Structures are given as structure tokens and as C-alpha cells.
Copies of this chain bind each other. A is one copy, B any other.
Amino acid sequence: MDYRYRIFKAFLKFRGLKCTPERRRILDAVFSLEGHFDVEELYGLLREKRSGISRATIYRTIPLLIESGMIREALRCRKNVRYEHIFGHKHHDHMVCVGCGKVIEFKDDKIEELQDRMCRLYGFTPIEHRLGIRGYCKKCSGLAKRSVSRGKRAVNT
């Protein structure tokens, strides 16, 4: 189903940009990945598929995918920026386990609603929001204290 491609194409046209096979391949690759991905993984996948696409093109395409609503930044850990496709999915937030790196996706309508209320209170028009919780998942919470105490870099959201 290339419904999303049609949308992306419309976005490109609207912006006066061209619709190239590279862009299409990147779009497809992104949606062929199930979870979160970073540029390097995407590059690797495209390389596997022998679609000779350069990193530069990927870097240049990502903002377009974001602006067209296809993907968004999911989370960051130091220099590692990870994305996820959102087109056609419902919004969710993340819990990231500092112990094992596990990512739990969750959503709470009440929280969303309260955020909107907050925005209204401040006369703020939201485009996007991101909620990330760092901590320990069920498995890791036993070992918790110990593993933090001897300073290593924490995982971020």
C-alpha cells in the first residue's frame, strides 16, 4: 500500500520539491523497519538492498519525512538520535529502561488532555509533544541502585 507515498508525494509537490526514486526508497525502507531506527541502521538497510543511497541523501531526506508527518524523533541517547514512523499510527510516549535499554510505549488519554489544557492556559498552540520517562523496568528494578552508583552515562529520552 502506497497510500503514504501518495501523501509524501503531495507534500513534495506542495513544497516544489522533486519526487525521486531515492526519496521513495528511503520512505519504503523506513516503513519496512518495525521499531525505532537511527540513520546508520537505515543506511545499512538501504545498502543491503543495494539501493546505492548515500548518507548525505538520507540526512537530507529525514527533515522532509519529519515535516510531512511520516516520522518523528522517538528518542535520543547522547549522540544517538532515533526515529520512528508515525504515519498511520497513534501517538504514544516512551519509558526507557536505564538498565537494559528496553523501551516501553504507552499512552494515556487523560495525560494528553491535561497537556492540551495546559497549552490553552498559556495560550500556546501545540504542534507536537514528547513525554519520556527514564527509570528501571520490572526486571531491572531489583538491581537498580547498584548499577547507577558507579557513574556511567545515563540513557536519555
Question: Which residues of the other chain, B, contact A88 by a CB distance below 8 angstroms?
Answer: none
For chain A, the count of residues having a C-beta within 8 Å of the partner chain is: 48
Q: Is the C-beta of A130 less than 8 angstroms from some C-beta in chain B?
A: yes
What sequence of 0s and 1s flags, for each residue 71-103 of chain A, a beta carbon within 8 Å of any chain B beta carbon?
001001000000000000000000101100000
Q: Is the C-beta of A33 less than 8 angstroms from some C-beta in chain B?
A: no
Question: Which residues of the other chain, B, contact A50 by a CB distance below 8 angstroms?
Answer: none
Question: Which residues of the other chain, B, contact A15 by a CB distance below 8 angstroms?
Answer: 149-151
Contact B130 A135 (CB under 8 A): no
Q: Is the C-beta of A56 less than 8 angstroms from some C-beta in chain B?
A: no
Interface of A, secondary structure class, is mixed
Known A63-B151, A118-B106, A124-B104; judge A157-B135 contact (CB<8 A). Answer: no
Protomer copies: 2
Chain B: minimal CB distance from A60 (Å): 11
Question: Which residues of the other chain, B, contact A67 by a CB distance below 8 angstroms?
Answer: 148, 151, 154
Q: Is the C-beta of A111 less than 8 angstroms from some C-beta in chain B?
A: yes
What residue in chain B is nearest A137 (Cβ atoms)?
B124
Contact B144 A136 (CB under 8 A): no
Q: Is the C-beta of A18 less than 8 angstroms from some C-beta in chain B?
A: no
Q: Is the C-beta of A138 less than 8 angstroms from some C-beta in chain B?
A: yes
Interface residues of A (CB under 8 A from B): 15, 63-64, 66-67, 73, 76, 95, 97-98, 104, 106, 108, 110-111, 114-115, 117-119, 121-138, 141, 144, 148-151, 153-154, 156-157
